[in-house]
Amino acid sequence: MAADSGRTHKSQVRAQARAQAQVLREQQEQAERRRKITRRALIGGGAVAAAGAVAGLVYWDNSTTGTSVPSQAAADASLTFGKGFLPGTTNDGAKVLDVYFDYSCSHCASFDVLHEEEVRTLVEEGVVTLALHPCKILGQPWTDIALNTLGVVLEHEPDKAYAYHNAVFELYLDAAQKKSGENLNLAGLKKAAEGVGISGKTVAGFDNAVSKNRFEAWIEAGTKTFADKGFTGTPVVAYDGKVLELAAVASPTGLTDQIRSADGAATPGAVAP
């Protein structure tokens, strides 16, 4: 009975995520119309925009790695996942699906819950390598709390890190939909961790990591990466270096459809910095 209840709850959360994705799609379409009007006005006024790229950035010194930065994190603070979903792995020959997110972002939570099963399939079938890019752009303490606990999981039970990542977003989306922060605390995160099979010994390390903000260097590095790329809002999703329009992937198979389209016949899109 408990398993049935859990499946029913998850189905309800996903249904709500689909509804929120539709709202996001409509908002994005309205924003795009506003951008086109503004662009025409700027061009008419003779404004010129210049873009620059920065290469070879170093986000932290090697002396800060270890307890403050997960060993699996790349230099830009990202975590890659190949078949088996072990952090730090890749799928040979596969293009990269980049997801930039903030744990305090409800749209990020909706995106993750909506596409969780689809992303798992794409990675396990070797279609993509997933790269998660954590950042803190909303300035909320919840992001620090969640990322510090993820850091502990990466240290002790990395094979459960992606499942925990999904569970954190499910917890946040549920709270956002209920308009209640009752479970947005360490107790809620511990329960979410235990729900995906993380041991009590690992969970016991959450308190110390959060109180000391042990993974601050990692959080700051991810936030710097996001800012250096010129992004302004989360989530940002890119495939093979091209940013995808969220409106185009706002369905449970939206990512798969876009990937097939891109690989079959290149579709014009914004290029990720």
pLDDT in tens, 75-87: 999 999 999 999 9
Residue with the two structure tokens 């002790």: 156
**Mean predicted confidence (pLDDT) in 11-28:** 54
Helical H segments across the chain, by residue range? 2-44, 106-124, 141-156, 161-178, 186-195, 200-203, 206-212, 216-228, 254-264
Closest C-alpha to 220, from 134, 132, 109, 145: 134
Residue 264 pLDDT grade (very low, low, confident, very high; cuts 50, 70, 90) = confident
Residue 216 has pLDDT above 50, yes or no: yes
Q: How many other C-beta atoms can be found within 10 angstroms of the C-beta atom of residue 86?
A: 14
Contacts for 35 with CB less than 8 Å, ≥ 6 apart: none
Q: Taking all residues of the chain, what is their mean pLDDT, rounded to a whole number?
A: 82
pLDDT digits (tens, 9 = 90+) for 227-236: 999 999 999 9
35 versus 101: the higher-pLDDT residue is 101
